[in-house]
Structure 1
């Protein structure tokens, strides 16, 4: 018997949690499951889902965000509750949902509707929240009360929760994100297409341009700590969050003031990352705060590229220091520079790390394992026989 699943997600972009959700939904057996997705706005994720004939509804998802705690934004939030619940009630009458899945802690609508209807609720956590402290305190309590199953994308994510409320242990499980290697049929680009020389060594940072991803740290490392950098170049791929464009402006100002226009290039977000990895020699994930997983690191390993990551969060569960890449002290430009120098000095080491990273990624973080574990969970919670 077909089971109808309601998925609620906090954005319509195609970054980490967006892409893992897209993968899960496109790989579900549609003879068993009928997914319906609620997003807060239109965007590339909606387009990709609809290409797969997956129903998408645009409605408030009661998203929690840092600037919501003002009188105006709180008033808007409470105003949206009635509208959002009304939307779900109409969808429920049409589809008779068997399960609710909330993707990321940021969405509260699934929690509220599950409480109202008594439907089973999976809350998939992609965040490690340590501040603001009030939010870090509240969310484990919400998970304990309003989630039947909490899925975490890494052990680090899980430990952050259960260290606060130990009773969450029994309802929390870890399902690592998983991917498959990209086929080699993508449209290739050359280093010269980006504005570099063919023999340049390109160090790539992929991700939102924000205070968390380490763009300024990498620029500081490049400017002040690398001894030899004649043919070493930086490539940033990503766009800022809407409303936080000033982060991009600050990065661009550092590049301008230091006359790095020929050495550092910024490309906007693209969903086709395979050509970017193809021209990259080293991928860095210098996150200034702990990543819950670090999907870019996994993609780089599958592209057989060496990875340098900050030694905290989910990256520590993927990268084996000195074998598939380097783990460096967070926010430490000198240690980051030393790791970069080792890899830029040795093409052989880059190839060795890339090969071993690929082997680890395919063995430990496969797409099949990711999909199969969720399917088993959906079957269990909807009692498919």
Structure 2
């Protein structure tokens, strides 16, 4: 089959969780013998055009606008959708699989996909189909109330609020033949905000690719001064929504008992240097694998609705225990007391308590990692997820 993916940000332009998940699914589909193309976006005009990335045909469309227009251009981005339609017309794909399009490719692309392809599939990867920003409202964090009211929207968007945005999005979603969420938590949140008939297919991972040699890990530890340290890994930017403040406070509490404990952050930061905090700088995908393997445990302390948390399955594939957030999809992935612990990240002392349990009981941490690895193979196997989607593509194209 000729399959076209639509995803706002895609490697190597971006290595965010949604882009990586779409990219790995595309590669798995290619292994199955399908002809895979991708439409994505870039910020600079000189990067626009057709290219090849890991055997995938990638079409980059330039889109760069002021944030103030996002709530309008996310619905219909005129210059972009014209180029999307031109590519669709030339490719005539059997299936268009739409992922994140809420920033640049815009929801109007669903209508174009329906016009030019035999089947259109939509995968929701976050809350942006109904929320104007990350879902971190007080009522959500206190009561896990995912219903976004008009008042919530106004608070999120301020003067940029578009009262018709969600209505228009729901209209364009009618052009999708099947709709999927990456967790049951996201499916429920979508339903509570008027987006129904959504099924669930989890993100997948190829666990066999998450092995690192002892020598490589040793070199990584030496490079980042991690020898003889208890390494707590935080994979991502230190941002408030990802629970950075709580993570830092938790590690401060842990260091009262384990002075050798450090928080390893994969990325850069604008924070003042402090004891117990190590920034790696930007890491490529192979170095990320080394960071996981070099760690004793992994933190996933998001203080917002995080639909899935790719960090969770990457940690499991690396045989590492996870201390994960109670918010969003993480409790579906991390089995509390089996592959890690679920905490309320608003309370750093909870994170610190569970961290200390794992640091004091390395055998338990190892067991959690082993159980997590087996769970990743069984429940989040990338090959299995590709087969699920493939069967849906075939059914839609034949009916």
TM-score surpassing 0.5? yes
1:372 deviates by: 0.5
> In the alignment, is residue 156 of structure 1 matched against residue 166 of structure 2?
no
Give 1:299 deviation, angstroms: 1.0
| SS, match of residue 221 in structure 1 | helix
Aligned in 2, Cα 1:173/1:140: closer, same or farther, shift over 3 Å? Answer: farther
Deviation sequence 1:166-185 (CA, Å, 0-9, x none): 7x22xx21111111222535
- 1:217 deviation in Å? 1.5
Of 34, 52, 55, 1:53 maps to 55
> Do 1:100 and 1:110's aligned partners in 2 also have CA atoms closer than 8 Å?
no
Q: Which residue pairs with 1:342 in the alignment?
A: 357
In the alignment, what sits opposite 1:37? 38
Verify: 1:180 aligned to 2:206, yes or no.
yes
Asked if the contact 1:39/1:58 (under 8 Å) is kept, the reply is: yes
2 CA distance for matches of 1:77 and 1:233? 40
- In structure 2, the gaps of 5 or more residues are 133-147, 154-164
SS in 1 for 2:308: coil
Which stretch of structure 1 is more off in the superposition, 209-218 or 358-367?
Answer: 209-218
5+ residue gaps, structure 1: 240-247
TM-score (norm 1): 0.81
Residues 1:361 and 1:191: Cα distance change in structure 2 (over 3 Å): same
Q: How far apart are residue 377 of structure 1 and its match?
A: 1.4
Inter-partner Cα distance in structure 1 for 2:383 and 2:117: 31
C-alpha separation in 2, matches of 1:37 and 1:309: 32
CA deviation vs aligned residue, 1:46-93 (integer Å, no higher than 9, x gap): 99x8243322111157x9x9x7344xx678779941x32332333233
Q: Hey, what does 1:9 align to over in structure 2?
A: 7
What are the superposed Cα offsets for residues 71-129 of structure 1, whole Å, 9 maximum, x if unpaired? xx678779941x32332333233222222221125242422413555753211111035
Residues 1:91 and 2:87 are matched in the alignment: yes
**Would you say the 8 A contact 1:105–1:126 is kept in 2?**
no
Is the counterpart of residue 280 in structure 1 residue 295 in structure 2? yes
Between 290-299 and 106-115, report the one with greater CA deviation: 106-115
Query: What is the aligned residue count?
Result: 354
C-alpha distance in structure 2 between counterparts of 1:10 and 1:317, whole Å: 26
Distance of aligned partners of 1:232 and 1:327 in 2 relative to their CA distance in 1, 3 Å threshold? same
Task: Report the TM-score, using the length of structure 2 for normalisation.
Answer: 0.79
The answer as to 2:282 corresponding to 1:268 is yes
Query: In angstroms, what is the RMSD of aligned CA positions?
Result: 3.1
